[in-house]
Amino acid sequence: MDVLVPAKIDDSAERAARGEGGLDTMLAAVPEQHWSFLVDLFGRYDVPLPDFEKAKRAGTSARGAGTQVTARGATELIDVSLAHPIGLIASALGTPPPLMVERAKERGVPVAALVGTAEHARRQVAAGVDLIVAQGGEAGGHTGEISTMVLVPEVVDTVAPLPVLAAGGIATGRQMAAALALGASGVWCGSVWLTTEEAETPPQVKEKMLAATSRDTVRSRSRTGKPARQLRSAWTDEWEGPGSPGALGMPLQMIIAEGAMRQINKVAETGNPGPARSPTTSSASAWAR
């Protein structure tokens, strides 16, 4: 199980999780200009508008995307995870909270953590982590920009004799062999699974991923609020464009992006005739990439 426990998130999400104003606190922290930007964007790409007001009132995306990354939300997910017979629990984006290590150890479940620098790795060792995932910038940048080739041997030397898995840009046997040569005990893959049958990736997005080349991605904060590499699309272009209000931090940007992506994918599935006017890319279906 992999539980996202970011070290830093927007304060409104923490206040909401503490029950101070509930979900409204978090939703109110999304500036009105961001909702207006979405309304304009949907109009320009001829994507029917989801009922933002209804979604805001119901707090659906806030509940899913916002509170789960708070200390309270993550604790609930850790407890649910450990109630199942799992073989490993991993913490991303910071050292695991002490209770994750304590509760996992009580149940004999090893704890892994993702790191992007040797300093992160030292902190993880001090926190009691059993397995380090050294994730290079090729993974997209959630943990940092040092490349896998440089990071893995550095982390292996830093945490020895703890085992290290190499991550970031690894999808083939040749890349796995390279990781082992760098001193890793194994590899940890992400993107390669996105196009498997078991993945929940929408079919039209899978097709785009399989057709893409290594030049077709960008690092963008438009999806989660933290930099993440993804296929370049009208969505990523628009958030970088002159009319963009700028991506918000985590988890506020997740609240915006999750609801929008759900609608964009739904529309892409049924086929979309194309942008109504002034598109920045050739097709409205590009939204779904």
Ligand X SMILES: Cc1cc2nc3c(=O)[nH]c(=O)nc-3n(C[C@H](O)[C@H](O)[C@H](O)COP(=O)(O)O)c2cc1C
Q: How far is the CB of 4 from ligand X (least distance, A)?
A: 4
Listed residue (169, 173, 127, 136) closest to 154, CA to CA:
136
Distance of alpha carbon 242 from alpha carbon 255, whole angstroms: 22
Q: Considering the complex, what minimum distance in angstroms separates the CB of residue 114 from ligand X?
A: 5
Give the nearest distance from C-beta 126 to ligand X in angstroms. Answer: 19
Closer residue to ligand X (CB): 41 or 93: 93
- Neighbouring residues of 252: CB distance < 8 A, sequence distance ≥ 6: 10, 12, 13, 26, 29, 30, 66, 225
Is residue 199 left, alpha or beta, with left meaning phi > 0 and alpha meaning psi from -120 to 50?
A: beta
- Least distance in angstroms from the C-beta of 44 to ligand X: 26
Q: Find the helix packing angle between 148-159 and 173-181, rounded to 10°.
A: 40
Binding site for ligand X (CB under 6 A): 2, 4, 90, 92, 114, 135, 138-139, 167-170, 188-192, 194
Which CB atom, from 4 or from 132, has the smaller least distance to ligand X?
4
Give the closest residue to 69 by CA, choosing from 97, 110, 35. 97
Whose Cβ is closer to ligand X: residue 163's or residue 190's?
190
Nearer to ligand X, 171 or 276 (CB): 171
Nearer to ligand X, 44 or 133 (CB): 133
Minimum gap (Å) between residue 177 Cβ and ligand X: 16
Q: Which residue is nearest to ligand X (CB)?
A: 190
